[in-house]
Homo-oligomer: A and B are copies of this chain.
Amino acid sequence: MPLDEITTPGLIVDSAALDRNLATMAAAWPGRTLRPHVKAHKTTGIARRQAALGHTGFTCATIREVEVMAAAGLGEDLLLANEVVDMRRLGTVAASGARVTVAVDSEATVAAAVSGGVREVLIDVNVGLPRCGCPPERAGGLAEQARAAGLVVRGVMGYEGHLMHEPDAEQRRRQAAESMALLARAHADVGGDVVSGGGTGTWTANTGVTELQAGSYALMDTTYRGLTDLPFEPALTVLATVISVGDGWAVADAGLKAFGMDEGNPRLPGYLIWYCSDEHVVFSAEDGHELPAVGDRVRLEPAHIDPTCALHERMYVVDGDAIVEVWPIDMRGW
C-alpha cells in the first residue's frame, strides 16, 4: 500500500532513521548493557529490532507490557521498572517460562512479589526524582527483608528522571554523577550484579549503571530534540490530511487524540501551530512557505513520543514513500 492511501491520522516510522538511532545507541551501549525501555513505543516490532542488535533484556512500565513481550517471545529478561501492588499476572508470566524481575521500594511491594509469585526483584532507589524508590539508606534493609522472604535480589535501580531534559549537557552530567553516587551507595548495601537506570537524556552522562534503560532514542520527539548534544534523529511523525483551508490558516485531521499533549503542540516545520482540538490541528504558514490545499498531506512531529504512541493502533514503517511493514502498537492499555 502506498503511503498516501493510509487512513489519517497515522503514525509513520522512518525505517532507516530508526535503524540509525538503534545503531548509534548500540555502539555506545552494546548487547545487554542496554535494557531498552518499551514504554516509549509499546511496539514489539521495534523491540524485535532492538533484540536483533543483541539487546535481549528489556525494561517495561506496565504489567501488560511484560505480558505482551513474553507472549511475543521476547521474555529472556524482562524488568518491570515500576512498583506494582498486585503481581499475580506477573507471576503467571514468570511461571510460563519468561524471566520477570520487578522493582520494589517498600515492605508492601516486597510482600506483593512474594504473594504474586514473582521471584526476582531490584531494589528501587530514589536518586533525586520525587516519585518511586526508597531512600538510599533504606535500600540495604529492604534487600534483607526481600531475601528473608525468599526473593532473589538482583541489585538496584534508580531513575534520574528529574534531569532527563536538562538542556545543559555539563549540568546533566554533573547531576547524573550525583544521582549515581546515591545509587552506588545503595548498591554497596544491597549487593547483586545489576545497577539499572538512565535514559535517552543521560545516555552519555550516566556512567554509573551496568545497564541503561533508554527508550525514546529509537523514535525521538521534539522535547528530546531540545537536547542539542543528542545524535538521535526524529524517526516518527504523524501523517495528517488537510481537510479545510481558511483565510490564512489550514486545518489537518490530527488533534488531541493523535498527539500526547503534555509537552505541548506538535511541530510542522515551516508552519506555526495555532492550536489542536480533538480531531484537528490548525496552523498558518511561516514566511517563505505556502498554505497547503485541501487533500494535501502533512507530517507533524510529536512533542512527546510515549503518550503519542499510546493513542494509536499501529505504526506504518516506511522506506521513502513505500510502506514496508505495519506494526501493531500491541502493548497499549493495562
What is the bound-complex CA distance between A84 and B61, given in angstroms? 37
Report whether B131 and A83 are in contact in the complex, using a CB–CB cutoff of 8 Å.
Answer: no
Please give me the residue from chain B that is nearest to A108 by CB atom.
B294
1/0 contact trace for A128-150 toward B, CB 8 Å?
00111101000000000000000
Stretch at the interface among A25-33, A169-177, A246-254, A315-323: A246-254
Report whether B334 and A294 are in contact in the complex, using a CB–CB cutoff of 8 Å.
Answer: no
Beta-carbon contacts under 8 Å, A290-317 to B: 293-295, 304, 306-307, 310-313
Q: What residues on B are CB-neighbors of A334 within 8 Å? A: 7-10
Quote the shortest CB–CB distance from A153 to chain B (angstroms). Answer: 18
Partner of A261, one of B253, B260, B278: B260
Partner of A131, one of B135, B244, B307, B311: B244
What is the size, in residues, of chain A's interface with B at 8 Å between Cβ atoms? 58
Report whether B243 and A295 are in contact in the complex, using a CB–CB cutoff of 8 Å.
Answer: no
Does A276 sit at the interface, judged by CB under 8 A?
yes
Does A333 sit at the interface, judged by CB under 8 A?
yes
Report whether A278 and B85 are in contact in the complex, using a CB–CB cutoff of 8 Å.
Answer: no
Does A327 sit at the interface, judged by CB under 8 A?
no
What is the bound-complex CA distance between A303 and B245, given in angstroms? 30
Report whether A243 and B82 are in contact in the complex, using a CB–CB cutoff of 8 Å.
Answer: yes
Quote the shortest CB–CB distance from A173 to chain B (angstroms). Answer: 22
Report whether B310 and A333 are in contact in the complex, using a CB–CB cutoff of 8 Å.
Answer: no
What is the bound-complex CA distance between A9 and B64, given in angstroms? 12
Report whether A244 and B106 are in contact in the complex, using a CB–CB cutoff of 8 Å.
Answer: yes
Please give me the residue from chain B that is nearest to A39 by CB atom.
B278
What is the bound-complex CA distance between A333 and B131, given in angstroms? 32
Report whether B279 and A62 are in contact in the complex, using a CB–CB cutoff of 8 Å.
Answer: yes
Report whether B310 and A131 are in contact in the complex, using a CB–CB cutoff of 8 Å.
Answer: no
Q: What residues on B are CB-neighbors of A83 within 8 Å? A: 243-244, 251, 294
Report whether B310 and A245 are in contact in the complex, using a CB–CB cutoff of 8 Å.
Answer: no
Does A330 sit at the interface, judged by CB under 8 A?
no
| Chain A contact residues, CB within 8 Å of chain B | 7-10, 39, 61-63, 82-86, 105-106, 108-109, 126, 130-133, 135, 161, 241-247, 249, 251, 253, 256-257, 260-262, 274, 276-280, 282, 293-295, 304, 306-307, 310-313, 333-334
Extra pairs beyond A62-B279, A130-B249, A130-B282 (10, CB < 8 Å): A8-B334, A39-B278, A84-B243, A85-B241, A85-B294, A109-B294, A133-B246, A262-B276, A307-B311, A313-B333
Please provide the 3 A-B residue pairs with the shortest distance between their CB atoms, ordered closest to farther. Answer: A83-B243, A261-B262, A108-B294
